[in-house]
Structures are given as C-alpha cells and as structure tokens.
C-alpha cells in the first residue's frame, strides 16, 4: 500500500499529511521520509507501552489501545512525543521551567541548560524576578548590575542559535513579578518587535497589586537582592502601561502568580514562579510536563455526546501520559529527578468548537459555557480516578507527603496534576479539528500555493451541512473567504450562521467566559487568546483583564487585530491599495499579498556603513505601502563582496515586495560574521550582511511613519505564506503547521 493510501486509510486530511511529512516522520540521512503516519503511530504506541510495568495485566492490549486511540484521532500526545518516541533523541516533553538565581553562575548555567532543552525539542519558561535590578550594586566587582532584561537578550540570542534539528523552534516564556524594580522597563521590553523575538513575556501579578489597582493605591516595589522595599509605584499607572503595550502589540500577557501557588499541589517542594511558553503549564524549577489532548469532536455521535467513550479515552490517555514520564529521556538529571518526583501530566482537549457545531450550540451562548464546564469537570474527574487507580498499581508520586493530597480521607494519587488546556496548534491539524478550546479560526479562507494558484479551504462540517441542505456553491465559498465571516450572508440559513461563529464574530467577554468555564475544572491553566477587532480601545483591554481576574483565570493573553506584524496582509478579492480598510476582517480570512509591481519613482534613504571590505552604501526605498526595495553599492567596485551584496539586495527586495517583514530581514542577517569585521562596540559591523541588517534597523528607527506602516501591514506565515492565526497565546499557521511557540 502506498503512503498516500495508508494516510487515507487512517482518515488523515491533506493538511495533516503535509504537516506529518514536513515535521514528524522519520527521515534518512538524505532527508527522505522513511516511515508512514501509520508507522509513526505504531512506533509511539510501542514505546509508550514498553513503559508499562512487567506485572501489568493485558500489557499487550495497551499497545493496541494506544495505537487505536491515536489512529482514530481520539487522542494525540504533544508533538515531541510523536516526533521522538522510539527514536534516538527520545525527549518526549513539551515544556520545562528552569531556575535563574541572582548570580552569573546561575544565569549562565540556565543558558547552558536552555540550549540543551531547545536542542532536544522542548520549550522553556523562566522567572527573571530573582535577578537584582539594573544599576543595583554588585559587591564582588564594586560595579553595578545590568538587570534582568539585559540577560533576557542573552537567552534570546542563545535560542536563536539553536535550530532544534529543523523540527521544532525554540520558545521561551519570560516572567517578571509586578513588584520588581525593573517592571516598567520589562513591560516596554517588546515595544520594538525586532527584539526578544524568541520570547513570550508576561507580568507576574500579585493579589496585593490587583487590590491596589482596584483601590487606586500605590504598592511596594521589592529589591530581590535584599527583600527590602525599594520604592512605591502607583498601581493604576503600572496597570495602564501593561494595557497600553498589550493593546499595541499583544504583549505582555499577565499571569496571576498567587493563584498559581494557591493551586500548587506541592507547596512544600517549592514556589511556582513561571510557566511554559504558552502559559498553560505552571511548573516548579526543573519540572517538565507531558501534554496530550482529547479530540472532543470524536466524542459526538448523531448529535449526542457519548460520555462512556469520553470516559474510556480519558482514562487511557491518563495512563498513556503517566507512561511517558517513564519512557522519557530527560535532557538534564535535575529534570529527570523532579519530574519523576511529582509526575505532573497535562491532559487537555481540542475540537471543542467542532463539538459545539455537531451539537448545534453557538460558541457564544450560555449553553456552550455550561457545557464546557460540564465536559471539563467530567474529564478532570475521570483523569483523577485513573491516576488514583495507577497509584494503587504503581504507587503515588514520591513527593505526595506534605502535598495537598496528604490529608485524612484522601486517596493516594499517581500524578500531582492531571489536566491542562494547551493550544494544540499542530496536533489539531493532524486530528483535523479546531484548536484547544478556541472558536473556529475560519469557516472558509483562501490559501495561496505554488505558481500563484489559490485554493479555497472550507471547514468540513460547514461544507457537509451546506451540501446536505442545498446551499453549497463555489461562489458562496469564495464570498465567505472574502468576507471572513458567514454572519452577513443571507444565502446561509440563520440557524447555520448562528452556529458557525469565528473568533472575531464573538465578543472578548465570550472568550473570557469560555476560558473561565474550562479553568474551573482544570488542575493547571488554560491557554487561550482573547481576540479584539482593530478598533478596540485600551479600555476594552483593561475591562477584559479585570474580568479575567474576577472570573478566576490564572492568566490571559490578548491580541488586537492588526497589532503585530505577523498578521497576513490582505483579503481575497480586494484591491491591494485598499488593504488598510480591511481592519474589521478576521485575520484568518486574509492571504499574503502578490508581489508588488515597481512604480516609476520611489522615495528612500541611503546609509553609509563601514565594513571590512570598505564603505557599503545601502539604499532603502518605499512605496505607499511600506518598504519596497534595497540596493547596495560597494565603495570598492567589483569583487566577491560586491556580488554577494547585490544578491542580498535582490532577495531582500523580493521578500519585501511579496509581503516580507523588516523584522524577518534583520533577524536573518544580523550577526552574520566574516573574516574582516570593522568597528567597535555599537558601531561594530561583522560582515556586509550584518551591515544590511543594521541599515534596515536604522531606517525603521529613523522613520516613524515607515515603521508604523510596515508594522501594520505585517506578513504571512514565514514557512508557507499561508494565513496565520493568533490562538492559545501563539501564532499558528493551519496550512503547514508552523507555530511561533512550538
């Protein structure tokens, strides 16, 4: 049987096959795929089943059950498990938290460990709150501290260097407590989108701070070096600065630290200071967590939830994830020890929006909120039941004495935590279902493929209903893709429109209420993005943050349409010079712009950069939409350097005219070195490519209008050019599986 036929036999979508071939399946030394999706699932099932104790009853049957759950797309583990189980690397965890102390030794030990984790395919979370503030005293050197943000840049550079074998990008979470002296600088750290590009950042909120916000009071700022009050800040001023930056760029997010520790199952072991990159997994230093998600769409038959099947899959998935802890090859001995001592797992869901559609329930309804709470309470209960049963078979987690489970009448339990709601960006593509607990990212959108061909992608449930009820047509699907919503199309029956809502058809309040419903019965946290339309105000963002706090959330991430340059450029069918009027069109329905034609005249600036090969003159031109082209002229004519610079200029120009971003240009070129660097300190130029990057930076910093235009125009998925969706606190391309936070 051919690979294509085997994929069809497994009922995998075309997108799923593409993602598996590109990111998951084994390859030989020549880069050729040497396993099928069926082989991959068999490899994973065999490896995880091998962790069953030798005395386990029906051990062989579990391998079959694990295989069937994955091939039926009822349950999938996190990406590292699919990629690495049964392979040489063998690192199966998605997320880790590393400690950072207030010393050079601790900081650079953490950087080394970060590199090892990223090399193995994991993401990392850090709290920088223990590092003394900038300009604080350093007794050992009689100097001053450079502060946590300067060290974050070192972590960011290290992450950029590690490519993780081409399968998963490094991703970091950086958290700073709201009572740290450098908090205002931290809040503003990503106002320039070309820095800290490998970090999500979140402010660690405290109850004391939120109370001060409510009362309009000042609050204490604590120097972590000595634990003393350094000064006071006005809580409202700090809160408003967070709102301003989140409205501008989507960051920082917020994490409610006291709530994380309220639900810390092992407070006697340590305090929770950080989470994984997407914020859903609070972890102690050196802990890792293994995640997996149940496909809720597969739990519905004939318009009814099959609760018995959901219970069976939940228990099997819990057992699977506990086995992952045993099968895992951990990147550090400290992580091995801490993970086995607490045995945290994170079982979550995907396909929630699809389940609601199959049940005929609008996402933005009280009925959906009530059902979300009911479903998660059921899953949490059944997962805990199975963990208790595993404790009977294998023993409880070693750190249970002194934990929240160590009290009269409590049953021993195998896992300190059982449930987490993760983003599921790429595994939901494999399962062909909606991501996590997010609404639909689109009903129909246009994807551009090779040779400028365009494919209309239609949600399979909508296509099925449209054909069954007789209103399907290619023209209608085109209209939906252009408008980005079905809500204003009269040809679609009202009851269908009511159910097929997307992330921009619902209000921010709807997002928060749904997140809160799942959070109430989730051990860890819920990863979700609250989407705002482009004309949302800062007061709208502030109201959502206050609502998140009052509803008991552990954190929240927002994204205002058009506020980040990762957004794709335009909507199908619109003239390219009309893209600035598309603010209210959901980002899911937009597509990359075609290559812009050069007008007869352009305006720009020329920068002289001193390189080791002599002066390099770099001309940057713009059209009315932003950066357009880049030319280079060497002070010394001819030679290899001149030809290489011309090639760089042509490729950069092509990128910009096709929707590429200034940030991406700088990111790819900056820091490239050659044998003839020039200059010192901030003026050091390491190569001609580096000179081009720094000239682009200068241009964008010196021209606020150009910077604003280009930032708002944005770009497409860097891998395939497809539409990028902000969900679960991350940027995800549903066409190819690219994830900014993978």
427 half-sphere exposure, CB direction, 13 A CA radius: 29
CA distance 45 to 66: 5
CA distance 36 to 68: 16
- In this structure, the strands spanning 95-97 and 123-127 are parallel
Q: What is the pLDDT at residue 193? A: 75
CATH label of the domain that carries residue 257: 3.20.70.20
> Six-digit token pair at 254?
């917020």
Q: Is residue 117 part of a domain?
A: yes
The more confident residue out of 307 and 191 is 307
Q: Is residue 257 part of a domain?
A: yes
Q: Is 276 a catalytic residue?
A: yes
CA distance 297 to 352: 7
Q: Is 525 exposed, middle or buried (0-12, 13-18, 19+ CB in 10 A)?
A: buried
Q: In the chain, pLDDT over 70 holds for what percent of residues?
A: 86
Q: Is residue 236 part of a domain?
A: yes
DSSP label at residue 87: S
Q: What is the pLDDT at residue 722? A: 59
pLDDT band at 624 (very low <50, low <70, confident <90, very high): confident
> Six-digit token pair at 424?
């599921």
> Six-digit token pair at 354?
């699809």
Residue at a domain's end among 236, 252, 275? 275
Of 198, 200, 276, 342, the catalytic one is 276
Q: Residues 248, 117: one domain?
A: yes
Q: Is residue 375 part of a domain?
A: no
Summarised one tens digit per residue, pLDDT across range 257-303 is 999 999 999 999 999 999 999 999 999 999 998 999 999 999 999 99
Q: Residues 475, 611: one domain?
A: no
- Paired with 345 in beta bridges are 290
Of 200, 264, 273, 278, the catalytic one is 278
Q: Is 688 a catalytic residue?
A: no
Q: What is the pLDDT at residue 603? A: 87
DSSP label at residue 685: B
Q: What angle do CA 456, 491, 487 make, to 5 degrees?
A: 75
Q: Is residue 691 part of a domain?
A: yes
Q: Residues 103, 247: one domain?
A: yes
Q: Is 200 a catalytic residue?
A: no
CA distance 12 to 17: 6
Of 280, 629, 725, 740, the catalytic one is 280
Averaged pLDDT score across all residues of the chain:
87
Q: Is 202 left (phi over 0), alpha (psi -120 to 50) or beta?
A: beta
Summarised one tens digit per residue, pLDDT across range 574-612 is 333 333 333 333 333 333 445 678 887 888 889 988 888
Residue at a domain's end among 275, 309, 326? 275
Q: Is residue 6 part of a domain?
A: no
Rounded-to-5 percentages of helix, strand, coil across the chain: 45, 20, 40
* 386 neighbors 398 (Cβ within 8 angstroms): no
Query: What pTM value is reported for the model?
Result: 0.80
Supply the DSSP string of 249-279, one letter for each residue. Answer: HS--EEEEHHHHHHT-S-TTT----EE-TTS
Q: Is 109 exposed, middle or buried (0-12, 13-18, 19+ CB in 10 A)?
A: middle
Summarised one tens digit per residue, pLDDT across range 483-518 is 878 998 999 999 999 999 998 899 999 999 999 999
Q: Is residue 586 part of a domain?
A: no
The more confident residue out of 590 and 346 is 346
Q: Is residue 587 part of a domain?
A: no
> Six-digit token pair at 313?
């899959």
Host domain of residue 481: 443-492
Residue at a domain's end among 275, 304, 326? 275
Q: What per-residue string of b and e applies to 279-299 under the rule 16 or more CB within 10 Å gives b?
A: bbbbbbbbbbbbbbbbbbbbb
Number of domains making up the chain: 3
CA distance 586 to 503: 8
Question: Among the listed ranges 8-12, 98-102, 335-339, which one has the minimum average pLDDT value?
Answer: 8-12
Q: Residues 108, 234: one domain?
A: yes
């Amino acid at each position: 049987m051919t690979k294509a036929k085997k994929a069809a036999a497994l009922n995998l979508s075309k997108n799923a096959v593409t993602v598996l071939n590109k990111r998951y399946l084994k390859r030989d030394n020549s880069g050729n795929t040497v396993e099928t999706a069926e082989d991959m699932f068999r490899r994973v099932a065999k490896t995880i089943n091998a962790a069953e104790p030798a005395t386990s009853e029906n051990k062989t049957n579990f391998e079959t059950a694990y295989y069937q759950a994955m091939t039926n797309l009822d349950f999938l583990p996190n990406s590292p498990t699919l990629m690495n189980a049964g392979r040489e690397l063998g690192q199966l965890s998605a997320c880790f938290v590393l400690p950072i102390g207030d010393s050079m030794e601790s900081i650079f030990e953490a950087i080394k460990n970060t590199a090892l984790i990223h090399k193995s395919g994991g993401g990392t979370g850090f709290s920088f709150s223990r590092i003394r503030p900038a300009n604080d005293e350093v007794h050992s050197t009689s100097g001053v501290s450079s502060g946590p943000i300067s060290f974050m840049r070192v972590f960011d550079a290290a992450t950029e260097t590690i490519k993780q074998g081409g399968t998963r990008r490094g991703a970091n979470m950086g958290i700073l407590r709201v009572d740290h002296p450098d908090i205002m600088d931290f809040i503003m750290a990503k106002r320039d989108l070309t820095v800290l590009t490998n970090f999500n950042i979140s402010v660690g909120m405290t109850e004391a701070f939120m109370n001060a916000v409510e009362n309009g009071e000042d609050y204490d700022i604590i120097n972590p070096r000595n634990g003393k009050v350094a000064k006071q800040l006005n809580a409202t001023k700090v809160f408003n600065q967070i709102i301003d930056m989140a409205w501008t760029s989507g960051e920082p997010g917020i994490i409610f630290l006291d709530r994380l520790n309220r639900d810390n199952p092992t407070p006697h072991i340590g305090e929770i200071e950080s989470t994984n990159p997407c914020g859903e997994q609070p972890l102690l230093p050196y802990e890792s967590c293994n995640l997996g998600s149940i496909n809720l769409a597969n739990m519905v038959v004939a318009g009814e939830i099959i609760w018995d099947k959901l219970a069976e899959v939940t228990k099997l998935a819990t057992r699977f994830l506990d086995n992952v802890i045993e099968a895992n090859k951990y990147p550090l001995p400290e992580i091995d020890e801490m993970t086995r001592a607490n045995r945290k797992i994170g079982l979550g869901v995907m396909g929630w929006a699809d389940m609601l559609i199959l049940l005929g329930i609008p996402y933005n309804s009280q009925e959906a909120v009530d059902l979300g709470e009911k479903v998660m309470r059921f899953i949490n209960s059944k997962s805990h039941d199975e963990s208790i049963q595993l404790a009977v078979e294998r023993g409880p987690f070693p750190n249970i004495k002194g934990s929240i489970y160590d009290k009269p009448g409590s049953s021993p339990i195998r896992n300190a935590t059982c449930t987490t709601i993760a983003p599921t960006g790429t595994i939901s593509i494999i399962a062909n279902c909606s991501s996590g607990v997010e609404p639909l990212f689109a009903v129909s959108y246009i994807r551009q493929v090779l040779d400028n061909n365009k494919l209309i992608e239609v949600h399979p449930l909508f296509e099925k209903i449209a054909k069954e009820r007789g209103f399907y047509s290619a023209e209608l699907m085109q209209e939906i893709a252009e408008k980005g919503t079905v809500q204003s199309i009269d040809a679609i029956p009202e009851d269908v429109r009511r159910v097929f809502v997307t992330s921009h058809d619902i209000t921010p309040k709807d997002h928060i209420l749904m997140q809160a419903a799942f959070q109430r019965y989730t051990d860890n946290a819920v990863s979700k993005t609250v989407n705002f339309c482009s004309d949302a105000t800062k007061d709208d963002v502030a109201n959502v943050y206050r609502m998140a706090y009052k509803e008991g959330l552990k954190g929240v991430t927002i994204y205002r349409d058009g506020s980040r340059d990762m957004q794709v450029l335009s909507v199908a069918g619109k003239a390219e010079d009309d893209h600035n009027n598309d603010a209210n069109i959901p980002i899911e329905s937009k597509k990359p712009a075609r290559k812009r034609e050069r007008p007869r005249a352009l305006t720009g600036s020329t920068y002289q950069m001193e390189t080791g090969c002599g002066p390099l003159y770099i001309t940057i031109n713009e059209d009315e939409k932003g950066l357009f082209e880049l030319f280079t002229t060497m002070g010394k004519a001819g030679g290899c350097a001149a030809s290489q610079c011309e090639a760089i200029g042509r490729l950069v120009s092509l990128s910009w005219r096709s929707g590429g971003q200034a940030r991406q240009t700088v990111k790819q070129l900056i820091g490239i070195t050659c044998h003839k660097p020039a200059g010192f300190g901030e003026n050091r130029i390491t190569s001609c490519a580096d000179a081009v990057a720094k000239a682009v930076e200068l241009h964008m910093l010196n021209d606020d209008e150009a910077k604003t235009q280009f930032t708002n125009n944005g770009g497409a998925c860097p891998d395939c050019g497809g539409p990028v969706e902000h969900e679960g606190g991350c940027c995800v391309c549903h066409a190819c599986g690219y994830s900014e936070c993978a």
